[in-house]
A and B are shown apart, each in its own frame.
Chain A
Amino acid sequence: MTTMPQEERVRFTADASTSRWVVARPWVKVVAVVMIASFFAFPLYWVVSMSFKPRPEWNPPGKVYWAPQSPTIDNYTNLLGLKSTEDSVFATQRSASALTPFKNSIILSVGGTLLALFAGIVTAYGIARFRAGGGLLPFQILQLRMFPPVAIIIPLLFFYVAIKLYDTYWGVIILYGAITFPFVVWLMRSFFQDVPREISEAAIVDGCTQWGAFFKAVLPQVKGGLAATGLFVFILNWSDFLIAKVMTTDVHSTAPVYLQSLQGGASGNEYGLQAALACLLILPPAIFGLAIQRYLVRGLTFGAIKR
């Protein structure tokens, strides 16, 4: 310690006013957060408020209606075909209301989710418990997520037309299931890995078969994760636009495709109606998303970040 000279005494008599504790007031942070939050919230505010605006307030030239002046629920009733008004060009142009696309959206999303869950859970269990496919399989499955869906479904389109799966529920359900399957595998794998191996082994020792052990001992342990995965995958399927757009026609197409079809028709854009439709489309994923808040990041990072 010969290199350590005696220290002069008053190093800490630094100017107290420069300390960050004194300078950084909490309200600066609060203002910043509120500003950024409102920036992120504004588009949602706009679509909700638009859905309650009557036609003259939609997008008149030279004037912006920041809030509905004479709020109405006509957009919703017109959209769902509950009421026909002479005002609605829409009602005369299209025979079908938004009910059919919504029904299709639900059938296809639920079907695709169930398929992905079934295939994904067993694969994940195989990987997590038996190292099925070696260490590479999970990465191969992940790689699938990298391909632009367009590049995959265009060749599938010819194939679908040829084998008569084009514009059918089954055709889309299989695609939805396959596209979201990697998410299920990665998520469920991360949940299964949290379950101690001893649980299934104990069940087997108690006389269960492998299947029995899986259903009676392991699956109950990941109930929460399973529910979260299901809702998460449902959100993904519900959010699809491209597959339904390419693979279906009017009869089997989904609500997002319907939303797009309302854009730029002969009567111009049907903002109010579209906004109502958009709000209805946002609602289920928003509810489910908040319900599985805890698992959202885990889902979107393929289980890599567990919070």
Chain B
Amino acid sequence: MEAHNSQIEARQPHSRLPGFGGRDEKRVAKLLVAPGQLLLAFIVLFPAGVAIYIGFTGWSPTSGDDFWHAYRHWHWFDGYWEALTSVTFWEAMWRTVLITVVCVTVEAVLGFALAMLLVKNFRGRGLVTVFFLLPMMVVPAVSGFIFFMLYQVDGPVNGALSAILPGVVQIEWLQNANVAIWTVMTVDIWQWTPLMFLIFLSGLAALPEDQVNQARILGAGFWQQLRYLTLPMMKLIILIALIIRGLEAFKMFDPIYLLTRGGPGEATTNISIFLFDETSVATRWGYASSVAILVLIFVSIAGYWAIRPIERAQEETLEELAGAEARAAGAGPRIEEAIEAEAQI
């Protein structure tokens, strides 16, 4: 009897600890990620399957056949071939890349300069930061509309230029095919420079002060500090900022649509606008699917190259952290404070 009792007592704490055994934990883990997996399957697997299928056809909802009978228009790779040999497609790709590169570069340089200006605490810094925060909060479609107003030929931008320059300035910001693409970029730059600014501000604020002071004492001037200290130490943060912003700029749609709808002609048609037009204006859904698949492939490859440096930088950081920790185990100081902040991704 006593032996029996003690057995129960011995087992009880164990049974009250679900999750500490390996099998249980795996089951819980699977359960936890299930809803997310379902959601992803719904918006990735289904559309991908549908797109691959429809992409092999020349189906259009105006063809008289419904979705289930799209196979009647089967034509294998004709859609892909059409896209790859289409000047319009490649021009749209080229514009997408141009917009992405220019926007992200300008945003990064401007944001970094601003962060350098504001990194030292001063009166009213909070207010200024809030000011810079606001553009980020604007619904992108709305920012497209705002700049649509600003860039009217009789609008305030030309008005301001007329006040400064001699004569009446009547630049056709949105109607001139050579100007419009740059006009479109200003919206993205206005809206997202603040993000770059905030990212870099937090990076600069986390730079170890002693190292900067040491560099000054060793005779480094402003540009030398920037070149040899600030930029290398912020490498990871800068990389993260560029990649994240680059991915977003690549997808840009709303502001362009509100500003120019891709026009005049196709002067501001990037890949997103191109796809949208093929779907909703031309209703060539089979062709649109082929293009969508092409874009997904392209982005996947680009994304692979984009994420790799982050992973590499993170490995290096972890290594440095491990080294710093090993030293800190003694009485040593935590050397790597800057990188600690960004050790996440």
Contact = CB atoms under 8 A, between A and B. Distances in A.
Contacts of A46: 146, 149-150, 156
Interface string B243-280: 01001001101100110000000000001100110011
A26 B122 CA distance: 10
A162 interface: yes
A207 B341 contact: no
Given A151-B292, A239-B140, A297-B195, 13 more contacts: A44-B138, A123-B32, A147-B299, A150-B279, A154-B288, A156-B47, A178-B43, A181-B36, A201-B20, A242-B257, A282-B138, A290-B137, A305-B342
Interface residues of B, number: 107
Given A285-B139, A305-B199, A155 B289 contact: yes
How would you classify the secondary structure of chain B's contact residues: helix, strand, loop or mixed?
helix
Given A20-B222, A44-B134, A303-B344, A151 B275 contact: yes
A282 B142 contact: yes
B124 to A, nearest CB: 9
A286 B139 CA distance: 10
B275 A154 contact: yes
16 contacts: A37-B132, A40-B134, A40-B190, A47-B145, A123-B35, A123-B36, A126-B29, A133-B29, A149-B272, A155-B48, A159-B67, A242-B272, A263-B145, A278-B142, A293-B133, A300-B195
Given A239-B139, A259-B142, A300 B32 contact: no
B19 interface: yes
Interface of B: 16-20, 25-26, 28-33, 35-40, 42-44, 46-48, 50-51, 54, 61, 66-68, 114, 117-118, 122, 128, 130-143, 145-150, 152, 154-156, 159, 190, 193-195, 198-199, 202-203, 205-206, 222, 237, 240-241, 244, 247, 250-251, 253-254, 257-258, 271-272, 275-276, 279-280, 285, 288-289, 292-293, 295-296, 299-300, 302-303, 306-307, 341-342, 344-345
Interface of A: 20, 26, 29, 32-33, 36-37, 40-41, 43-44, 46-47, 50, 59-64, 66, 115, 118-120, 122-123, 125-127, 130-133, 137, 139, 141-159, 161-162, 174-175, 177-179, 181, 185, 190, 193, 201, 204-205, 207, 209-210, 213, 235, 238-239, 241-242, 245-246, 256, 259-260, 263, 269, 271, 274-275, 278, 281-282, 285-286, 288-290, 293, 296-297, 300-307
A32 B115 CA distance: 12
B142 A142 contact: no
Contacts, number: 312
A138 to B, nearest CB: 9
B243 to A, nearest CB: 9
A83 B122 CA distance: 48
